[in-house]
Structure 1
Amino acid sequence: MAQKVHRESLKNAKRIVVKAGSKVLVQSTGRPDKRRLGLLVNELAQLQNGGGETVFVSSGAIGAGLDALGMKTRPKAMPDLQMAAAVGQICLISIYNELFNLNKCQIGQVLLTHDGLKHRERHLNARNTLLNLIANRIIPIINENDAISTEEIKFGDNDVLAALVAILVEADALVLLSTTDGLRDGNKKRVSYIEEVDDDVLGLVSDKQDKLSSGGMASKLQSAQIAAHNGIPVVIANGRKTGALTRIFEGKDEGTLLFPKTGKISSRKRWIAFFNRVEGHLVVDDGAAKALDKGKSLLPVGVKAVEGRFKAGAMVDVQSLRGEHIARGLVEYSSDDIDRFKGQKSAEKSSEVIHRDNMVII
């Protein structure tokens, strides 16, 4: 019954983020599959022209570049990947521009890096740009800026990027399109609905490496959890299945639905929780864990251990003595300083390791 109600609620979703993986968009050679792209664009345009607000996160640039450059396998060297992305992005956006124009939809290209969304001012600039495109009925076509990205500033894959974009624009729903119709259980039967991405759910996944794509079902589930923690329902569905996207927003039982248990949080808290990379961990005692749950700041007396090396202002996870993730926040001091005055009732510096305004309870 709960699943039916949640499925029905997707009919009311107005602002929708859709992500399509490389294998959905390109042939085995990496060449963009224009027929399949056309079918997908038709559905996206239908949502847009029906009064919705559509944001499209597209993979496939590197694959398209490999084909254009005559490269048979995905290279390992970063400069070669960047070169392929630079060439392939032009191929993809040209096709999208042609196909969306046929549907009387205007598009705008936005290339992002994790580093850009981590920096608060650039984060807000990216958000404002996307919201302005949406307000003017222009569909943002988003991809990671692979032509300049390095391992230090990459999202990891476009599933993560899509989840962060959904949070950034406060989407009503996120759809992650793959080449399967959702998660499969031990009997290879589609799992229609999940409440939480836990170890049991992840245990159902058996991803295989692929020469064109970097994501997989585990990546999609973990990215779905990121969005769901911010109150955004997520559907993982088959992007090669004609009409799948339309059926999702008709409330039909399509793909695997993860429906959030909690509502959205403030923009600053979103930025803290989801757009900063974790650089270390703080282990706290039971008293500190209870205090954090009541909305208190983290004090030195409650810190039992410091893991990792980081500077003041870094993002860290806060864990219980049993290894449970309790919170995430921006530290006031470096790992060396915290390690020196941990466990003390009064420290040589400020009494707060993480101020409650700079912390999100998980």
Structure 2
Amino acid sequence: MEIKRVVVKIGSSSLTDARGKLDFAKLQDHVDAIARLKANGHEVVLVSSGAVAAGYGGLGYPARPVTIAGKQAAAAVGQVMLLNNYAEAFHKYGMTIGQLLLARQDFERREQMSHAYSALTELLKRSVIPIINENDSVSLAELTFGDNDMLSALVSGLIHADFLAILTDVNGLYNKNPNEYDDAIRYHFLDTLPKHLLDETSDATGSKVGTGGMKSKLRAARMALSLGVRTFIGKGKGPDKLVAIINGNGDGTYIGSDCLKPSLNVSEQWIALHSPVSGKIEIDDGAVRALMKEGKSLLPAGIKKISGHFLAGEVIQITDQKSHVLGKGQVNYSSEQLDEIKRMSSSRAMITVNGGHPEVVHRDNWVPWTAVLKPAAYERSATHE
């Protein structure tokens, strides 16, 4: 599989020194490697942590702040430092950077998610290197990604990347903690992500300056796989490290085969992953067959029951008569209208409520539950290095 578009995620521990301050030599090392990728014809998007870690020293904190206000203030100061250093480092190669600060709310709003996709696509088209970080200065605690690992996975799916490289200070995934067990064995390649590995991996972060540990990276890898993006978790040094990684020679763990399904489009990703569910529609067996087997839209005639209150344009779950969830879709009619037109033919339904759509949920606005929400084949065996 040819790798054209690459997302590189760099964690705080890979950008800072032992005291938590921004390490320009480390940053330059990453920039050199990205420049080499670009020179080889690859498109690169950088998801970079490090703003809080870079900024808290300038605010007089002796260590990474633990309060929300402290983290937000440190991010505000550190983001400027981080981007200035990136701009200077990339300028040596004649490369232009662009900044995007994203929050979870940007993915939950369909229009903003679409705008983010358009902006990133245009930047790549213009050979600009987008540098993305979570908008830590204004994000609400309960609405954050928690770390940039998951953000990098979502960005990878959003732009239909071919490969995600998560760079960290650990050289991949082991069958047990290599710091505690001398006989720990590293996984070099995982065709899929076995559930037991995720369950057995600790949530703890191994760095004083980062927020995401190995479990965070595995969750991100699982998300990336479900969006059709192969993933690498590991480390490297020098200008050739990223070229080596995408060529299969990286110091870490590769997750995902060349046979991953293509990523969903932006609209489908929003419906599947980010949209709130406003209600539920139960459909009959004929409608189940039309949706699941024949790739057709959901029509009023197939509706058996409406649950909840929702408006046209909102997202609902669709279930069969045994309450099995089939998927999610953006509905063309409100719950009140559907109660009135269920079991009707499309032509009669449109006349009854003066509607403009023969479909209740068009097939282009429908995502089966198995497409993303339950990524398949996590239970297969892994191969050790």
What fraction of aligned residue pairs are identical, expressed as a percent?
Answer: 36
Give deviations 1:191-244, integer Å, cap 9, x for gaps. 122233342231341231454222222222222222222222111122568753
Aligned to 2:80: 90
Aligned pair in 2 of structure 1 residues 32, 110: CA closer, same or farther (>3 Å)? same
Partners in 1 of 2:319 and 2:196 — Cα distance? 21
User: 1:46 offset after TM fit, Å?
Assistant: 0.7
The 3-state SS of whatever aligns with 1:51 is coil
Alpha-carbon contact 1:22-1:60 (below 8 Å) kept: yes
CA RMSD of aligned residues (A): 3.5
Aligned to 1:3: none
The 3-state SS of whatever aligns with 2:33 is helix
Give deviations 1:43-87, integer Å, cap 9, x for gaps. 011111222211111001011111221213433432222111000
- What TM-score does the superposition give when structure 1 sets the normalisation length? 0.79
Partners in 1 of 2:275 and 2:133 — Cα distance? 19
The 3-state SS of whatever aligns with 1:41 is helix
Aligned to 1:117: 107
**Structure 1: stretches of 5+ with no match in the other structure:** 1-8
Aligned pair in 2 of structure 1 residues 37, 320: CA closer, same or farther (>3 Å)? farther
User: 1:284 offset after TM fit, Å?
Assistant: 7.2
User: 1:297 offset after TM fit, Å?
Assistant: 5.6
Alpha-carbon contact 1:237-1:244 (below 8 Å) kept: no
Is 2:365 aligned against 1:358? yes
Aligned pair in 2 of structure 1 residues 136, 105: CA closer, same or farther (>3 Å)? same
Aligned to 2:67: 77
**Structure 2: stretches of 5+ with no match in the other structure:** 177-182, 372-385
Alpha-carbon contact 1:283-1:321 (below 8 Å) kept: no
Aligned pair in 2 of structure 1 residues 84, 28: CA closer, same or farther (>3 Å)? same
Aligned to 1:4: none
Alpha-carbon contact 2:297-2:361 (below 8 Å) kept: yes
1:358 maps to a residue whose letter is: N
The 3-state SS of whatever aligns with 1:231 is coil
Give deviations 1:154-182, integer Å, cap 9, x for gaps. 23321121112222222121111122122
- What TM-score does the superposition give when structure 2 sets the normalisation length? 0.75
Partners in 1 of 2:328 and 2:66 — Cα distance? 33
User: 1:321 offset after TM fit, Å?
Assistant: 10
148-157 or 50-59, larger mean C-alpha shift: 148-157
User: 1:289 offset after TM fit, Å?
Assistant: 6.6
Partners in 2 of 1:289 and 1:239 — Cα distance? 49
The 3-state SS of whatever aligns with 2:174 is coil
Q: 1:178 aligns with which of 143, 168, 171?
A: 168
2:246 maps to a residue whose letter is: F
Alpha-carbon contact 1:192-1:253 (below 8 Å) kept: no
Partners in 2 of 1:232 and 1:314 — Cα distance? 28
Partners in 1 of 2:229 and 2:304 — Cα distance? 36
Partners in 1 of 2:30 and 2:119 — Cα distance? 24
Aligned pairs, number: 343
Partners in 2 of 1:283 and 1:219 — Cα distance? 34
Aligned pair in 2 of structure 1 residues 95, 201: CA closer, same or farther (>3 Å)? same
Partners in 2 of 1:112 and 1:236 — Cα distance? 22
1:90 maps to a residue whose letter is: V
The 3-state SS of whatever aligns with 2:187 is coil
Aligned pair in 2 of structure 1 residues 110, 20: CA closer, same or farther (>3 Å)? same
Give deviations 1:132-152, integer Å, cap 9, x for gaps. 221222111111111111135
Is 2:216 aligned against 1:219? yes
2:32 maps to a residue whose letter is: N
98-107 or 348-357, larger mean C-alpha shift: 348-357
195-204 or 13-22, larger mean C-alpha shift: 195-204
149-158 or 169-178, larger mean C-alpha shift: 149-158
